[in-house]
Amino acid sequence: MLLTPSSLKSYARDNSALFLADASVSASTPYNINGTLPVNYVIKPDGKVYNGTTGFDEAQIKSWIDSCIGSVAVDDTVQTMTITNNGDTDLIVTNITKSNSWIVSVSPTSFTLAPDSSQNVTVTVTRNGLSYGTYYGSLDISSNDTAHTPYIEPVKLVVQKTAPDISVTEDILKFTWGESEDYDTVKTMTVRNDGNVNLNVTNITKSDSWIVSVNPTSFTITPGDSQSVTVVVTRDGLACGTHYGSLNIVSDDPDENPTLNR
């Protein structure tokens, strides 16, 4: 199969095996150049071509890719919208403008559609530089349709939180003594990761000497999981009354670091 813009249907972006592939075949099936030798080109996220067969022009291969799909960064997302001419004369789209900078590109932005024909338009958005949340924008489609110019197509970008999220199931660890001669009391608190990437707890420090020990003080929690932490306190040397302290839980949670639990 000759690798040309017309025959290149999709670009497989699989982190384990990035090959040039036709949409109708497996993403790991390489193209043939002129139907003779396999390409075996691996395209990495930096856009460079690696492991090329000797004698082939890597710059030419990359230019073919760019002409078909453009440059797509790791944090970009690509979707396609379809514009259809439901009228009885030619629809002439003169421009498609984007409302926000996070809408990276729109292609094509001008074309002519015969009656009952359609045109796919590729829209690329990026989450790069955006905090998590929902963002709204629009595409203004200018054409010779006098009833709908510009035609405003809404664009919605949902940026999910890609970070750990620490929580502690106990609001407070409460220790109570009566007439018991057992001066040390042991309780367990549970640290959870409610985020969608690993949570790394690097240290748990105690504020007072009557908090005898905390174990463990460093660990990793996968998303949705939890870790039990044993806390030992003593009343030895303390006067009667209520004593308050805290545990500082240091982690890579971006907005709750440290978390205090006393």
The whole-angstrom separation of Cα 164 and Cα 67 is 38
The whole-angstrom separation of Cα 162 and Cα 169 is 22
**What pLDDT shows up at residue 57?**
53
The DSSP code sequence of 79-116 is EEEEEE--SSS-EEEEEEEESSTTEEEEE---EEE-TT
Mean pLDDT, 10 residues at a time, the chain of 262 residues: 34 35 40 38 44 50 53 68 93 94 93 94 89 87 90 87 84 73 77 90 92 94 93 86 89 77 56
The whole-angstrom separation of Cα 255 and Cα 194 is 13
**What pLDDT shows up at residue 116?**
93
**What pLDDT shows up at residue 30?**
43
Q: What is the bridge-based pairing of β-strands 103-107 and 118-126?
A: antiparallel
Q: How far is CA 186 from the centre of its chain?
A: 41
The whole-angstrom separation of Cα 141 and Cα 146 is 12
**What pLDDT shows up at residue 60?**
59
In order of their start, the domains of the chain are 10-69 (no CATH), 76-159 (2.60.40.10), 166-261 (2.60.40.10)
Q: Locate 166 and state its tokens.
A: 């620490």
The whole-angstrom separation of Cα 28 and Cα 36 is 18
**What pLDDT shows up at residue 64?**
56
